[in-house]
């Protein structure tokens, strides 16, 4: 009889053609898809040419997305990268090519039905753990995605699993980004989630939207976790069913008695609006400890803050208000689908009238491609990183927060608790 298995063990075992795997086993797995972005592609193409690979065996499994350099500006080399990747996909017969403006790979994978329960997807970034909200497992393998494309397989070490149980509901003015910032504050310094696949469970999950669940998972990699996943409920399965187009999927649940190296518990009702201090992604404090800090820029976007719920949250604050004159506010919808739905709901109108600059779907300000900061400037953002030089000058400071805090700060011209503005909005 096979030993009790976690979700990650079951998905990996299936992809390895086994009935079970043990933590620490080295196994060769065949992915359902391999997802790549454009920034590394010139190097990938040179390596393909060096080793003489003319064709990949499963072009139907490749998902290629231009999401970092969404605009090929004059003076940059990005137009060449776009052309190189586009031409290679055409040569290989890769139909799953998504050019500039389609949005983040994270959302392309979910919105286009690639991420389905029980599927295993190799990618080049750990933040694509966000697909775990649908019960799909992301395994980040960085530049080794080239191996997966060439061989339709790659070896991995089976990771240990940890569990985070959520109870309660988020309070007024609190977002899922505040929750993950709190988890990162607690779990990162001592590495308690290091190299783990983190399973989220508990009644608190049901109180979170799919967007909120993806936000939790997208930023999880800052803790040192390998990846993350959730058992999809009826809400998630309805989303999958509407996009699967007949492609197979299977809900995977952990066995009773499966082994976890850590078990953390969080009451969502106890979480407050948070701000993460630069230059550490785990240095979160309650917003009151930074309130009053003057800002020059605010941005809403990234794989941890550019979904529809994030734009709705910003619009609740910005409706009928104006961004402070000395602040530039950038808003980046995470995908073309998010952009279109935000337009239908009137969110883009609210944001634009408040003074926001609305950018093309993609990474934009998070990657530092747009919204560059000058010497000594201060930004507050929903993006993923806040290390020195991420967004321009090394003397600039980037604070991280949820969309409510960012929008309220943009209006106030300084870091602000969003709850008073939200209270006015609903009164």
Element (H, E) at 157: strand 154-157
Distance CA 83, CA 99 (A): 10
CA distance 128 to 130: 5
Give me the percent of the chain exceeding a pLDDT of 70: 99
Q: Where are the alpha helices (DSSP H) in 71-198?
A: 78-92, 105-111, 145-151, 176-187
pLDDT, mean over the chain: 95
**H or E element that contains 156:** strand 154-157
Confidence of residue 69 (pLDDT cuts 50, 70, 90): confident
Asked if residue 75 has pLDDT above 70, the reply is: no
Q: Give the tens place of pLDDT for each residue, 278-333.
A: 999 999 999 999 999 999 999 999 999 999 999 999 999 999 999 999 999 999 99
Site of tokens 């994030």:
310
Residue 264 confidence (pLDDT): 97
Q: What are phi and psi of 357, to 5 degrees?
A: -95, 120
When pLDDT is cut at 50, 70 and 90, the band that residue 74 belongs to is: low
Confidence at residue 427, expressed as pLDDT on a 0 to 100 scale: 65
Determine contact, residues 396/377, Cβ cutoff 8 Å. Answer: yes
On whether the CB atoms of residues 269 and 168 are closer than 8 A, the answer is yes
Task: Round to whole Å and give the CA distance between 266 and 164.
Answer: 7
Instruction: Compute the average pLDDT of residues 13-25.
Output: 97
Q: What is the mean pLDDT of residues 228-246?
A: 97
Cα(132)–Cα(43) distance, integer angstroms:
29
What pLDDT is stored for residue 368 in this prediction?
Answer: 83
Closest CA to 114 of 124, 101, 105: 105
User: What φ, ψ does residue 126 adopt, rounded to 5°?
Assistant: -70, -25
Those residues with Cβ within 8 angstroms of residue 269's Cβ, 6 or more apart along the chain or in another chain: 167, 168, 169, 170, 171
Question: For residue 8, what are the CA distances in angstroms to 125, 240, 315, 324?
Answer: 18, 19, 37, 47
Confidence at 246, pLDDT banded by 50, 70, 90: very high
Q: What is the pLDDT of residues 182-198, one digit of tens each?
A: 999 999 889 999 999 99
């Amino acid at each position: 009889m096979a030993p009790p298995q976690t979700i990650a063990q079951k998905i990996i075992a299936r992809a390895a053609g086994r009935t079970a795997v043990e933590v620490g086993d080295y196994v060769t797995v065949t992915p359902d898809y391999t997802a790549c972005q454009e920034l590394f592609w010139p190097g990938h193409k040179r390596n393909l040419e060096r080793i003489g690979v003319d064709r990949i065996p499963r072009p139907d499994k490749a998902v290629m997305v231009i999401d970092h350099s969404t605009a090929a500006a004059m003076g940059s080399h990005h137009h060449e990268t776009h052309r190189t990747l586009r031409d290679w996909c055409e040569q290989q017969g890769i139909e799953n090519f998504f050019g500039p403006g389609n949005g983040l790979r994270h959302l392309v994978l979910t919105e286009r039905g690639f991420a389905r329960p029980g599927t295993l997807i190799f990618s080049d970034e750990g933040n694509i753990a966000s697909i775990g909200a649908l019960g799909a497992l992301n395994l980040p393998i960085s530049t080794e995605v080239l191996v997966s494309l060439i061989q339709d397989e790659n070896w991995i070490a089976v990771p240990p699993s940890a569990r985070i149980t959520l109870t309660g509901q988020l309070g007024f003015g609190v977002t899922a980004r505040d929750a993950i910032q709190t988890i990162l504050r607690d779990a990162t310094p001592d590495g308690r989630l290091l190299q783990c696949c983190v399973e989220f469970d508990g009644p608190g999950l049901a109180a979170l939207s799919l967007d909120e669940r993806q936000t939790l998972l997208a930023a999880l990699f800052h803790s040192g976790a390998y990846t993350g996943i959730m058992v999809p409920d009826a809400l998630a399965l309805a989303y999958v069913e509407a996009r699967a187009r007949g492609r197979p999927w299977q809900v995977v649940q952990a066995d009773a008695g499966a082994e976890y190296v850590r078990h953390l518990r969080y009451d969502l009702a106890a979480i407050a609006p948070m701000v993460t201090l630069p230059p550490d992604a785990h240095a979160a404090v309650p917003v009151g400890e930074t309130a009053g800090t003057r800002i020059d820029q605010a941005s809403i976007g990234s794989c941890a803050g550019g979904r529809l719920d994030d734009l709705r949250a910003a619009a609740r604050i910005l409706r009928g208000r104006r961004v402070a004159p000395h602040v530039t506010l950038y808003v980046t919808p995470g995908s073309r689908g998010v952009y279109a739905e935000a337009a239908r709901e009137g969110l883009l109108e609210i944001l634009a009238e408040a003074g926001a600059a609305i950018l093309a779907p993609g990474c934009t300000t998070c990657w530092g491609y747009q919204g560059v900061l000058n010497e000594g400037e201060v930004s507050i953002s929903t993006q993923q990183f806040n290390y020195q030089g991420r967004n321009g000058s090394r003397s600039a400071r980037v604070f991280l927060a949820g969309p409510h805090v960012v929008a309220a700060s943009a209006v106030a011209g300084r870091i602000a608790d969003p709850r008073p503005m939200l209270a006015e909005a609903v009164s």
